[in-house]
Amino acid sequence: MKFTFPVLSLFVLSLLYGCSNSKTQSVHHPTVAPYYNLIDAEFNAQKAFETVAYVEQYFRVVGNEGFDNSVYFVENLLKEEGFVEESSASSTDRLVYRIEHRPLSKPTWQPISGSLTLASGEELLNFETNRNMMAINSYSTQGEKEFEVVQVTGSGRALNFDSDVKGKVVFAETSVGYLFSEAVLKRGAAGVLAYRMPSYTKPEVNQTSIQFSRISLDEKKQSWGVLLSYAAKEKLTSALASGNKRIKINLNTEIFESEELTIVAELKGSKYPEDRFVFSAHIQEPGANDNASGVGALAEVASTSARLFKAGKINPERTITYLFGDEIVSTNRFIKEDEERAKTIKWGVSLDMVGEDTEKTGGTFLIEKMPDPAAIWTRGKEKHSEWGGETLTKEQMTPHYFNDFILNRFLEQGAAKNWTVNVNPFEGGSDHTPFLRSDIPGLLLWHFTDQFYHTDNDRLDKVSSATLKNVGTGALVSALVLTGSQQQASDLVIEEVTNAAINRLQVEFELSKTELQSGGSFETEQDILETWSAWYVGAIENSRDILSQPDSAFEERIKTSIEKVTSEKDHFIEQLRVL
């Protein structure tokens, strides 16, 4: 995941500006520089940070009080900036929002308090310092209860239930959901204690960290699961080895009927209001970076948009939509529930884990690309994150200019603010996937590796207001360019995607040369270059969707660009052939 573009960024910038001396030239392309200047002056990083601070105080599950309070907090921010509730808006109001209400099919859950101690009184966990200790959907114990603990040997799904566990508490090193199913639902255990922490969370260093997880909601058993930190696991295993096999546990949770809330806010376009650039930030999950940071950044993106619009400094021709809700679910519904609207969603961007202080969390800011050949041949400086990704096929490729367009906006912001911008091949798992499933260009803005990912140490002290502003600026500039002048946007895209294609072919050619010199197959290396060329040809052809009515001049530019890319590909393949 350390794709820092030491060659690519300088190459692209020199092509764009015809000058390699960035100290004397603006790092921003002339088409986009005015947007950067406007947003840099207007985006309120402190306000974004304060929104993160408000949201992150809650353990947020869809429908619980923390989730709903976060929704209404964002609503108030929008109203303060001039967004009008849709049912009260006039036909001329362009800043509008609505809160969608839907009944939940299952009750929601929220934690209140909890503690786990050895029978001797030594504390293992307390909710006040480990708010991820209770598995989501755990029922209350109805006061403090004492149980015998049975340790099940094995790990993962290779567990050995070689004794009766009915009415006892089962401890194992596996996922809490799997252990709950095996021990409580199948064998009658009273509850479970589970430990599983991935290596990138550095559990031996961050010994109090617990990653949140869930168990199935079982209204008959009304049981519970507790997740252990490394420190708690070590204390427990030491006690069990000494023959101290009893624990005391006191869990207080609430499970109740509720509804699902989603905020849909929009700055309507002046000419093509049905065409949309859609941002999405999910509210649920209990962390600060994941994903209170996405909520804070997007709320300020929307607020900045409103202030600039009201001041007459921007006037998008197409609509910008800001979604806040349940991860994947809300975005998928926005796309699927209205077929006509879905046809006019032109771009989608997910803001997920976008505020990190990387000196504390590790990793870097990443743009997760739409599926390109790097997800087939992950080589050179391309690397998957520790989150992981599958090897894709050619049939799963989604050629589009959106990858390089968004990347260039963030490279510019990175160069201007001395901020590191990386990429990773497609992996999935966030709000960009519903767009891609519906053949809509979609990208993820995020950070990884994060040693506090999904843990209760993902708190406000790990969030950077500067990062929130950098991500928010790059995101909003991207939206304003693509929803603004179609001619300027299309000219910029053709220029950039052509340069990116040539540069990528050069990079792959050098990698292929090395492979052939090490005994690799010419046919394989030819296939890689052919596939990259075909991907970029498709990306160039898809630039037609920027214009409402592509004209003959633009078609000629597309033709010329494709010919240039194809010629470069053929040239590189011939060079490989004679090696």
Beta bridge partners, 351, equal: 445
Q: In the prediction, which pLDDT does 26 show?
A: 62
Q: What is the pTM of this model?
A: 0.94
- In the Cβ-directed half-sphere of 70, how many Cα atoms lie within 13 Å? 39
Average pLDDT, the chain: 94
Position 15 pLDDT exceeds 70: no
Helix (H) or strand (E) holding 436: helix 433-437
Rounded Cα distance, 145 and 137, in Å: 19
Rounded Cα distance, 579 and 365, in Å: 38
pLDDT tens string 480-489: 999 999 999 9
Residue with tokens 């021990």: 183
pLDDT mean over 105-113 = 97
Q: In the prediction, which pLDDT does 550 show?
A: 85
Whether the Cβ atoms of residue 345 and residue 440 lie closer than 8 Å to each other: yes
Q: In the prediction, which pLDDT does 565 show?
A: 98
DSSP 285-328: SSBTTTBHHHHHHHHHHHHHHHHHHHTTS---SEEEEEEEESTT
Q: In the prediction, which pLDDT does 7 show?
A: 33
Position 4 pLDDT exceeds 80: no
Closest alpha carbon to 6 in 535, 512, 507: 507
The identity of residue 489, as a single letter, is A
pLDDT mean over 294-308 = 98
Could you tell me how many helices (H) and strands (E) the chain has, helices first? 16, 17
pLDDT tens string 506-564: 999 999 999 999 999 999 999 999 999 999 999 999 999 999 998 999 999 999 999 99
Residue with tokens 């519906």: 438
Position 121 pLDDT exceeds 70: yes
Closest alpha carbon to 272 in 545, 575, 32: 545
Rounded Cα distance, 575 and 354, in Å: 42
Position 499 pLDDT exceeds 70: yes
Hey, how many other C-beta atoms are within 10 angstroms of the C-beta on 88? Answer: 8
Collect all residues with Cβ–Cβ distance below 8 Å to 309 and sequence separation of at least 6.
Answer: 94, 95, 267, 315, 316
Per DSSP, 200 falls in state G
Hey, how many other C-beta atoms are within 10 angstroms of the C-beta on 578? Answer: 5
Rounded Cα distance, 463 and 472, in Å: 14
Position 6 pLDDT exceeds 80: no
- pLDDT confidence band for 21 (50 / 70 / 90): very low
Q: In the prediction, which pLDDT does 25 show?
A: 45
Task: Dig out the tokens for 256 from the structure.
Answer: 């109740």
Position 186 pLDDT exceeds 80: yes
Give yes or no for a cis peptide into 291 (omega within 30° of 0): yes
Task: Dig out the tokens for 60 from the structure.
Answer: 């947020």
Query: Is residue 572 exposed (0-12), middle (13-18) or buried (19+ Cβ within 10 Å)?
Result: buried
pLDDT tens string 350-386: 999 999 999 999 999 999 999 999 999 999 999 999 9
Beta bridge partners, 466, equal: none
- pLDDT confidence band for 9 (50 / 70 / 90): very low
Helix (H), strand (E), coil (C) string for 473-534: HHHHHHHHHHHCCHHHHHHHHHHHHHHHHHHHHHHHHHHHHHHHHCCCCHHHHHHHHHHHHH
Alpha helices, DSSP H only, in 112-215? 176-179
Position 17 pLDDT exceeds 80: no
Task: Dig out the tokens for 264 from the structure.
Answer: 């849909």
Helix (H) or strand (E) holding 8: helix 8-17
pLDDT tens string 189-214: 999 999 999 999 999 999 999 999 99
pLDDT mean over 52-59 = 98
pLDDT mean over 322-334 = 97
Beta bridge partners, 256, equal: 108
C-alpha torsion sign, points 35, 36, 39, 41: negative
Position 3 pLDDT exceeds 80: no
Q: In the prediction, which pLDDT does 421 show?
A: 97
More confident residue, 61 or 22: 61
Position 250 pLDDT exceeds 60: yes
Residue with tokens 């009304």: 222
Q: Specify the pairing of strand 246-256 against strand 145-155.
A: antiparallel
